Amino acid sequence: MTDKNTNSKYSKKYKLSLTNSKLFDAIKMIIAILIALAITFVILCLVSDDPINALNTILFGPLTKRRYIGSVIESFIPYAFAGLAAGVLFKSGGFNLGAEGIFIIAGVVVAAIASAPVTTSSILHPILCYLGAMALGAVLMIIPSFLKAKFNTNEMVVSLMLNSIYAAIASHIVRTYMMTAKSNSVASKDYLATAKIPYLYEPYRISICLILLIVVTVILHLVMFKSRLGYQIRLSGSNPKFAEYSGISAFKLAISTAAIAGVLCGMGATTHLLTQSSFYTPSQSLVGIGFSGMLLAMLGKNNPIGIVIAAFLIKYLEQGTAVLYFVDKSVPAEIVAIVEGIIIMLISSQHFLRRLREQQLLKEGLEEHAE
Amino acid sequence: MKETILKLDNVTKVYPNGTVANRDINMEFEKGEIHSIVGENGAGKSTLMKMIFGIEKPSSGVITYKGKEVHFESSMDAIKDGIGMVHQHFMLIPSFSIVDNIILGDEPKKGLFVDTKEAAKRCQELSDKYDFELDVNAKVSTLSVAKRQKVEILKTLYRNAELIILDEPTSVLTPQETEKLFDQLRFFKQQGHTILFISHKLEEVKQISDRISVIRNGVSKGTYLNDELTMEQLTNLIIGRDLDNDMDAYKTHEDFHNEKALVVEHLKMEHNGKGVLNDISFAVKNGEILGVAGVEGNGQIDLVKCIVGLQKTQYEGTIKICGTDTDKMNIRQRRDLGMAYIPEDRMGDGTAGDLPISDNLISTYYTREDINGKLFMDNKKIAQVSDDLIKTFAVKTKSAEASVNSLSGGNIQKVVVAREYNTNPKFMIAEQPTHGIDIGSAEFVHHKLIELRNAGAGILLVSADLNEVIDLADRIIVMFDGQISGYFPDGNDVDESSLGMYMLGAKHQSAEEIGGALND
Amino acid sequence: MLSSLFSTLFTMKFVQTVIRLATPIVFAAIGTFVAASTGIGNIAIESIMTFSALAGVLGSYLTGNAWVGVCIGFIVGICTALLIAFFSMKMGANAFLIMIALNTFADSVAIFTLYQITGDKGTTASLATPILGTLDIPIIKDIPILGEILSGHYILTYICWILVILLFILIYKTPLGMHMRACGLNPDSARTAGINVEKLQVFSLILSGFFASLGGVYLSLNYLKIFSKAMVSGQGWMGIAANGIANGNYGVLLLSALIFAIFRAVSIIFSSSTAFPVDLVGAVPYFSVFFLLTLVSIINYYRTKRGKVEEE
């Protein structure tokens, strides 16, 4: 009993001070966002004639129309999946950057299944698309992680090379086997109607994939923080030698996290293709999502819920710039990448705002020693 | 009246994480003396030396060197002013030659380039002058530990150091090598060098010092003439209480029917065609501590890696843990046989520094039923287990949720020992279990090892600290050059210097005698 | 048709193509190598090349002088390197994350800048940009075969090979290079020898940024003569891969870079033929990197297992 009392006494004391790391992280995040917005404003001042209105439009533009809100929600889901995939890999200490290529080549599978009369059921058809993409995603994501775990191959370079190779293969397959006569560009046939994903809320054009994302996020959160696998991932990400010493097989862990990440990429690719297009273009449809996912994972600090929130916020900002672009052609959507970059660099800086915290710790250290 | 070369006034060091390493230290060092600084591990000796050598900056206080107040920005400044330091962990680059290591940072130049000929000449002259018997063109990776230490000392002499700091220099040496080092130190003293000798081995300190300064818990406890101080007084100054060295009193002697926790037979392994483990055979019985003595780098690390299953290189021979052949088993499978392992590198291998203590306390048995629910881990139970362990092992922390990084070395080691202890091991490997931790924690760890032994576990104690091996072990083997060079069936019936002969390879027992390590 | 393609592989033209294509990869490789010598893994080579390629063109366009463009290009490259140094060393961020982030939004930042100046999101084709030319070496150019191989290349190619030699001398012959290697092999021992490790690491990052940026500038001001989106397309990574294969061996570093260039040349020549699937031929260089890197790591794995341990 006495133990509990002293514990709660301590926790009270530390909740109020900056030595509490959660509170500190939150403050850090808010200040980082404010700094990023300030820098954005400076850039807007340089490029735009009406920077105040421009910033205003970026921040609040998406709320002005129903269509915009729907578009944010619809488009952020695949990115959230990519972010979750990167988060799992990063958290386990891996630097497998293969999501980009896997998104693109998984698209081939989705397009192939969606445009073929494999079933007449409009429930089964999208599910088959998902399963196909997820299976391929898992298998391909494992390759760099396997090579790293078994032979200590540089997974970063290998996965990036595979990205280019997969993109080439995807383009080759579509060009050779899936192209329609009517189109000039390298693109697949249209999907069949049965492959379409039903809406969850039609007026905003929000598909039921939102539910899928929420379910997956909750499961991932539980896996990360409650399960034995999550424990292994955290341990291995923090100190791989310690994980090995503890008897956690680095090999098995690398394979299983890669498989999970691959499955998530497959989900993201399918969601994106079936909700946002009616055919697949390898050079356009899914390009950039995998890489964006890595940035989202960094923004969300590899925490599943954090990643989903980050994905939403970034897509919201992108929608804001898109709205702005209608009225002010001087500000292209790429400005969001700059905002994103600044926030990532600041929040991943452990020494950012460190002074504040250190002074507190120093004081406590001296006080304690005096006792 | 002797000349004061170095003076510390109210020197205080507080680390950014809040640890107070030194507080108001006042000391004076005279030119041409051998001045020892003693204190427990973790008392703050190393931090003090780092400040003198410019690696750390004092938070407050004044350092006066040769009559001038100094503020070293880096060790470069200290070196320029004639201060040299031989670190406890050698600061050498194995793939560089001796010459390159010595001249690094102060190279003789020929135009824009390094003058390699001149460098070799100067180094060889220096080595010959002090009778170091080194071939300066050899690669450091081929040298023995004692020779590497000589290279370290040469480094300071090459830079004309007047004040030489030696941080725990004898911890890696055999008694014989220590004797030789002391002769050299006396020679340096004659030449007018001032020696700062850092150690926690009191006998050596008494043997070599002119004066002795004591640090306890970061605070100076005064400077004394060696002749005016008895061993007992010194001990009391250092720890404030009497040492309890007699571990035998705590040992019980139950009969465990000669069952073996570990059997190693004909273990062989090669690196680059050179045998690093050459036909090693021994056994650890249930209810005993088998000590492995030896100078670092004679195959102990490889031996341990082979036994625990972390060896990346293939080896020959058999290793049986609790009666089961471990051929091709990984560390998880070996742990499941009842093995526990306290690793030498507690920060690198034994803990995840930025994770909470609670996570670190369960890592080797996180799948065990009592801390798991059906689908997920039982966080409440884990909290309970870790709180219990923190209490039993007296880990000094605010809560189990604090990160391991926030603990002191001794407390981190307690976390490691607590976790391994809590796996209820039948066989434990303790690799340098008290290296670099304070005496209080070390004593605690020793008691826990004895406790395990008394309960019937077999313990393999690998330690470079001879006193530790002699105090704890029931039987002792000595390793030299990848072989067992000596076997002592009674741990109470050995002395340091006879072990030292085997550690150096000066003596080697016959195959029958060594066979006892396996068959007794 | 096919045989004529293969026969081009053994002509002077092919050798010249390889030398041209090798230049940016070698720049990237020595950029990675110099950072690695002090223990820094610079994986931002790709983004540095992108930034400087654009900065070089814009600088050249705005000042009307290609050499000023080159200078602006490497100033931007060095600034990017300093940005990495600032965040990873001063701000305590994970250097890998910072560099992955940089690589990931490098294209976006480049496009944003490009758009502000040209109003185009794809290339600088609309800008009248002074560029760098080729160099004929007197006397040598008249020697048969040798003249064809050594003479008539882009100016930055020559600068590249000069820098390769200078870097070798710096790293292996000078005190500074010895200090740098010491930092990479054992930073603690370098520190106690009075070497300012952080300073040298920043210095090596600056050099790394300098080399990588010349690779970028070579692409935009010398070889392709414009900046276009995604023009670096993995050449920075090839340099990084070459460094990974070399494992500290300068000769192997250059050899690997050359091998990648050969595969790029093969890919370019074969893509002109309809006999091969165009997409797959384009991926040949990437596959060669993947294959070589994997092969080398598998060999190293079995060497370790057999007890052939490399002493550090």
Give the pLDDT confidence score for residue B208 in this predicted structure. 92
- pLDDT band, residue B203 (cuts 50/70/90): confident
> How many other C-beta atoms lie within 10 A of the C-beta of residue C127?
17
Where residue C195 falls among pLDDT bands split at 50, 70, 90?
Answer: confident
Mean per-residue pLDDT for B123-135?
Answer: 88
CA distance B363 to chain A (A): 6
- Looking at beta carbons, which residues of chain A come within 8 Å of C277? 172, 175-176
**B245-295 per-position pLDDT tens digit:** 667 788 888 888 889 999 999 999 988 778 889 999 999 999 999 999 988
Q: Is the pLDDT of residue B62 over 90?
A: yes
C175 → chain B, closest CA residue: B114
Backbone angles phi, psi at B372, to 5 degrees: -125, 145
Q: List Cβ<8 Å contacts ≥24 apart for B63-68.
A: B63/B6, B63/B7, B63/B8, B63/B9, B63/B11, B64/B6, B64/B7, B64/B8, B64/B9, B65/B5, B65/B6, B65/B7, B65/B163, B66/B5, B66/B6, B67/B4
pLDDT for the residue B35: 95
Q: Is residue B304 part of a domain?
A: yes
- Which stretches of chain C are assigned E, i.e. beta strand? 134-135, 153-154
**Average pLDDT along chain A:** 86
Q: What is the pLDDT of residues B415-432, one digit of tens each?
A: 999 999 999 999 999 999
> Which of C188, C195, C309 has its CB closest to that of B105?
C195
Q: Which of A341-355, B458-472, B484-498, C178-192 has the lowest mean pLDDT?
A: A341-355
Using a CB–CB cutoff of 8 Å, tell me whether B296 touches chain A: no
Count the residues in chain C: 312
Give C85→chain B minimum CA distance, Å: 20
For residue A182, what pLDDT is reported? 65
Q: What distance in Å separates the CA atoms of residue B270 and residue C21, rounded to the nearest whole number?
A: 44
Residue B375, burial from CB neighbour count under 10 angstroms (0-12, 13-18, 19+): exposed
Task: Give residue A17's pLDDT.
Answer: 46
Residues B492 and B411 in one domain: no
DSSP class per residue in B13-59: EE-TTS-EEEEEEEEEEETT-EEEEE--TTSSHHHHHHHHTTSS--S
The reported pLDDT for the residue numbered A360 is: 67
**Does position B151 have pLDDT exceeding 80, yes or no?**
yes
| Pair B211, B316 in one domain | no
Three-state secondary structure call for residue A36 = helix
pLDDT at position A14 over 60: no
Among residues A78, A72, A70, A76, which one has the least CA distance to residue A202? A70
Query: Among all residues of chain C, which has the CA nearest to that of A161?
Result: C286
The beta-strand segments (E) located in B218-366 are 219-225, 260-271, 274-285, 289-293, 316-321, 324-325, 339-342
Q: Which of C178, C192, C312 sits opposite B100 (nearest CB)?
A: C178
Rounded to 5 degrees, φ, ψ at B326 are -95, 15
Shared-domain flag, residues B334 and B373: no
Q: pTM of the entire structure?
A: 0.86
- pLDDT tens-digit map of B249-263: 888 888 888 899 999
Predicted local confidence at residue A15, as pLDDT: 38
Contact A95 C100 (CB under 8 A): yes
Chain A contact partners (≥3 CB pairs within 8 A): B, C
Would you tell me how many other CB atoms lie within 10 Å of the CB of residue C150? 15
Q: Is A247 close to B331, i.e. CB distance below 8 A?
A: yes
Of A49, A47, A72, A75, the C-alpha closest to A323 is A72
Whole-Å CA distances, B453 to B113, B365, C216: 61, 21, 66
- For residue B377, the model assigns a pLDDT of 92
Is the model's pLDDT at A137 over the cut of 90?
A: yes
My answer on whether B273 and B383 are in the same domain is no
Q: How far apart are CA A280 and CA C255, in angstroms?
A: 40
DSSP structure class, residue C309: P
Residues B365 and B433 in one domain: no
Q: Provide the token pair at B317.
A: 């021979």
Q: With 60 as the cut, is the pLDDT of residue C269 above it?
A: yes
> Which residues of A are less than 8 Å from B387 in CB distance?
3
Quote the pLDDT of residue A9: 36
- Residue C225 CA: distances (Å) to CA of A86, C123, C241: 36, 11, 26
Q: Does residue A359 register a pLDDT over 80?
A: no
Per-residue confidence (pLDDT) for residue A310, from 0 to 100: 93
Q: Do B142 and B159 reside in the same domain of the chain?
A: yes
Q: Does the CB of C92 have a partner CB in chain B at under 8 Å? A: no
CATH numbers and ranges of domains, chain A: 68-313 (1.10.3470)
Nearest alpha-carbon partner for A217 in A131, A312, A317, A98 = A312
Residues C268-273 have a mean pLDDT of 84
CATH of the domain at B144: 3.40.50.300
What pLDDT is recorded for position B244? 53
Spatial neighbors of A3 by CB under 8 A, at least 6 apart, are B387
> Is A60 strand, coil or helix?
helix
Q: What is the pLDDT of residues A267-319, one digit of tens each?
A: 999 999 999 888 898 888 888 899 999 999 999 989 999 999 999 999 999 89
Q: Angle at the Cα of B27 (from B23 to B30), degrees rounded to 5?
A: 160
CA dihedral A341, A343, A345, A350 (to 10 degrees): -170
pLDDT for res C224: 87
Q: Which of C178, C182, C304 sits opposite B114 (nearest CB)?
A: C178
| pLDDT score of A18 more than 60 | no
Nearest to residue C186, comparing CAs of A117, B95, B6? B95
pLDDT of residue A8: 38
Are residues B172 and B268 located together in one domain of the fold? no
The angle formed by the CA atoms of residues B313, A145 and C81, to the nearest 5 degrees, is 100
Q: Does A3 contact B387 at a Cβ distance shorter than 8 Å?
A: yes
Q: Are strands B4-14 and B60-65 parallel, antiparallel or unpaired?
A: antiparallel
* Residue B459 counted as domain residue: yes
**B72, part of any domain:** yes
Are residues B404 and B429 both part of a single domain? no
Is there a contact between C101 and A291 if contact means CB atoms under 8 Å apart? no
Residue with tokens 């040469």: B154
* ipTM of the prediction: 0.89
**Is residue B408, in this structure, part of any structural domain at all?**
yes
Distance from CA of B75 to the nearest CA of C (A): 5
**Looking at the structure, do residues B471 and B440 belong to the same domain, yes or no?**
yes
Say if residue C37's pLDDT is above 90: yes
The pLDDT confidence band at residue A362, using thresholds 50, 70 and 90, is: low
User: What residues 300-339 of chain A have any CB closer than 8 A to a CB of chain C?
Assistant: 330, 332, 334-338
Residue B28: predicted pLDDT: 92
Q: Are residues B138 and B207 in the same domain?
A: yes
Total residue count of chain A as it appears in this document: 371
Q: DSSP for B336-384, please give it.
A: HTTEEEE-S-TTTTS--TTSBHHHHHSGGGTT-GGGB-SSSB-HHHHHH
Q: How many CA within 13 A on the CB side of residue B97? A: 13
Same domain, B419 and B437: no
**Whether B105 and C174 lie within 8 Å, measured CB to CB:** no
Domain region containing B404: 351-423
Task: Say how far apart CA A290 and CA A299 lie, in whole Å.
Answer: 15
Q: How many domains does chain B have?
A: 3
pLDDT of B18 above 70 = no
CA torsion C21-C27-C32-C34 (nearest 10°) is 150
CA distances from B107 to A222, B332, B488 (A): 58, 50, 49
| Out of A20-34, A62-76, B64-78, B437-451, least confident range | A20-34
Helix or strand or coil: residue B292?
Answer: strand
The domain boundary residue, chosen from B387, B402, B423: B423
Q: How far C202 CA lies from chain B's nearest CA (Å)?
A: 17
Q: Mean pLDDT of all residues in chain B?
A: 88
Gyration radius from chain B CA atoms: 24
Ranges A255-259, C186-190, C275-279: which has the least confidence: C275-279
SS3 B265: strand
Concatenated DSSP letters of A292-360: HHHHHHHHTTT-HHHHHHHHHHHHHHHHHHHHHHHH-TTS-TTHHHHHHHHHHHHHTBTTTTHHHHHHH
Which of A95-104, B440-449, C136-145, C259-268 shows the lowest mean pLDDT across its residues?
C136-145
The chain A residue lying nearest B400, using CA atoms, is A7
Closest partner residue to C312 (CB to CB) among B55, B95, B313 is B95
Point out the residue among A10, A239, A248 whose CB comes nearest to the CB of B353: A239
Each residue's pLDDT tens digit, B309-340: 998 888 999 999 999 999 889 999 999 999 99
% of chain A residues with pLDDT over 90: 50
The CA-atom distances, in angstroms, between B37 and each of A110, B29, B48, B183, B222 are: 73, 11, 10, 19, 10
Tell me the per-residue pLDDT of C60-78, one tens digit each, with 9 for 90 and over: 999 999 999 999 999 999 9
User: Which residues is B265 bridged to in the sheet?
Assistant: B318
Q: Which of residues 40-99 of C touch A (CB under 8 A)?
A: 43, 87, 90-94, 96-98
Task: Please indicate whether, in this complex, the C-beta atoms of B364 and A246 are within 8 angstroms of each other.
Answer: yes
Q: Could you list the beta-strand ranges (E) of B380-481.
A: 427-431, 458-462, 475-480
Q: Assign B89 to helix, strand or coil.
A: coil
Check residues A261 and B401 and name the one with the higher pLDDT.
A261
Range from A222-231, B317-326, B501-510 carrying the lowest mean pLDDT? B501-510
Is residue B255 in a domain? no
Domain termination residue (choose one: B208, B239, B270):
B239
Q: Residues near A310 by Cβ (< 8 Å), separated by ≥ 6? A: A83, A296, A299, A300
Q: What is the pLDDT of residue B272?
A: 79
Within-domain flag for B245: no
Q: Which chain A positions have a beta carbon within 8 Å of C290's beta carbon? A: 158, 161-162, 165
Q: Quick one: pLDDT at residue A21?
A: 67
| Residue numbers in A near C100 (CB within 8 A) | 95, 97, 294, 298
| Least confident segment among A34-38, B50-54, B230-234, B348-352 | B230-234
Chain mean pLDDT for chain C: 90
Cβ–Cβ under 8 Å, residues A78 and A264: no
B351 → closest Cβ in A11, A242, A248: A242
Question: How do residues B439-452 score in pLDDT, each as one tens digit?
Answer: 778 888 999 999 99
Residue B459: beta bridge partners? B289, B428
Structure tokens given for A55: 């910033």
- Reported as a pLDDT band with limits 50, 70 and 90, residue C87 is very high
pLDDT at A171: 92
Q: Which DSSP state fits C66?
A: H
Contact residues on chain C for A352, CB-CB shorter than 8 A = 91
The Cα of B89 is separated from the nearest Cα of chain C by a number of Å equal to 10
Looking at beta carbons, which residues of chain A come within 8 Å of C229?
A: none
Structure tokens at A26: 């939150």
Q: How many CB pairs under 8 A join A and C?
A: 132
Residue B241: predicted pLDDT: 52
Nearest to B314 among C178, C179, C305 (CB): C305
The predicted structure's pLDDT at residue A5 = 38
* Diameter of chain C measured on Cα atoms: 65
Alpha helix positions (H), A195-331: 209-226, 228-238, 240-245, 250-276, 289-299, 304-327
Give the count of Cβ contacts less than 8 A between chain B and C. Answer: 92
Q: Supply the Cα-derived Rg of chain C in whole angstroms.
A: 20
B415 and B466, same domain (yes or no): no
Pick from C92, C112, C233: which is nearest to A335 by CB?
C112
pLDDT at B337: 94
Confidence of residue A76 (pLDDT cuts 50, 70, 90): very high
Q: Please indicate if any CB of chain B lies within 8 Å of the CB of C185.
A: yes
